[in-house]
Amino acid sequence: MSYAYTFEQIRTRPVTVIGAGTLGRRIALMMASRGGVVRISDPQQQTAEAAVSYVEEALPAVLAERGSGEAGTVVAASTLEEALHDAWLVIEAVPERLEIKIPLWGEVDRIAPADAIFATNSSSYASRLMNEQISDRSRLCNLHFYMPPVSTAADLMSDGETGREVLDTLLKVLPEFGVQPFEARKESTGFIFNRVWAAIKRESLAVVADGVARPEDVDAMFRLNWHMPAGPFQMMDSVGLDVVLDIEEHYAAENPTLPEGPRTVLRSYVEAGKLGRKSGEGFYRYEG
């Protein structure tokens, strides 16, 4: 099976995004910026429909800022079969738990077109860990996004068996959608940028866990010293503290020497229902 495509060859075929949460809907937004159809699938139909509304509202501004592109059609699919019909690319953006991802990919593999490329947006699990129910593992890879459309870089990484033409197709085609992929040359937990970000995030949490500073102090210093629009705690609130905790637990499982303090801070917020922007409160309070 060949997975070598040009943009012209795939522009009339849908892209499927499975998972309509914070990142899933932003991924759908980028994939809807070059015309065509994007189908969003989520176990909660209301969440999928909210993601469609988000994309429709945000897309004009993305196209205006880019100065090019074409608004696509975004659909909340009612079934996985509907979502996957004739798709050339399937992007999974469900919670960071292998017990969810492994059977989901098995189901996708049975339903999706035989020539569809599979990509997991997982930021902490190598795709190798979720490919056991996929018949042709050469079509699966990691494709991790960083809160588009503001951050357009993406990590691309083989599952150890990914076909070279799959990686080359994504490296060539994704810039058409305003996404800039960078290939990890060997398997690495955290990929490229996230390995650096994990150290910053963990030490920021440790500073708070040790009582040295408050989250707002750390963020203010980042904004002033590095001229950044947001600091680490603001960024964690945007990602979702439950997601950040899942990622940190995975890192700790691989490296038991990591300090417990950062995860203790995160657990206290998650257990209190303070998940960040999506719940209205995390390290900060949010209106609306």
pLDDT value at residue 133: 97
State pTM to two decimals.
0.83
**Sequence spans of domains, the chain:** 7-183, 193-279
Task: List pLDDT tens digits, range 149-170.
Answer: 999 999 999 999 999 999 999 9
H-assigned helices in the chain: 7-10, 22-31, 45-66, 80-84, 98-111, 164-173, 193-209, 215-226, 232-239, 241-254, 261-271
% of the chain with per-residue pLDDT over 90: 90
- State which CATH number among 1.20.1260.10, 1.10.1040.10, 3.40.50.880, 3.40.640.10 fits the domain covering 193-279: 1.10.1040.10
Q: Under CATH, which architecture does the 7-183 domain have?
A: 3-Layer(aba) Sandwich (3.40)
Lowest mean pLDDT, pick from 15-19, 68-72, 114-118: 68-72
Q: Are strands 15-18 and 37-41 parallel, antiparallel or unpaired?
A: parallel
Confidence of residue 187 (pLDDT cuts 50, 70, 90): very high
For residue 190, pLDDT over 90 is answered with no
pLDDT tens profile 24-53 = 999 999 999 999 999 999 999 999 999 999
Could you tell me which of 250, 227, 225, 238 has the C-alpha nearest to residue 283?
Answer: 238
Reduced to 3 states, what is the DSSP secondary structure of residue 113?
coil
174-196 mean pLDDT: 93
Mean pLDDT of 15-26: 96
Query: Comparing 7-183 with 193-279, is the CATH topology the same?
Result: no
Which residues have CB under 8 Å from 138's CB, separation 6+? 1, 3, 161, 162, 163, 166
Judge whether 32 and 74 are in contact, CB under 8 Å: yes
Residue 288 has pLDDT above 80, yes or no: no
Q: How far apart are CA 169 and CA 143, in angstroms?
A: 12
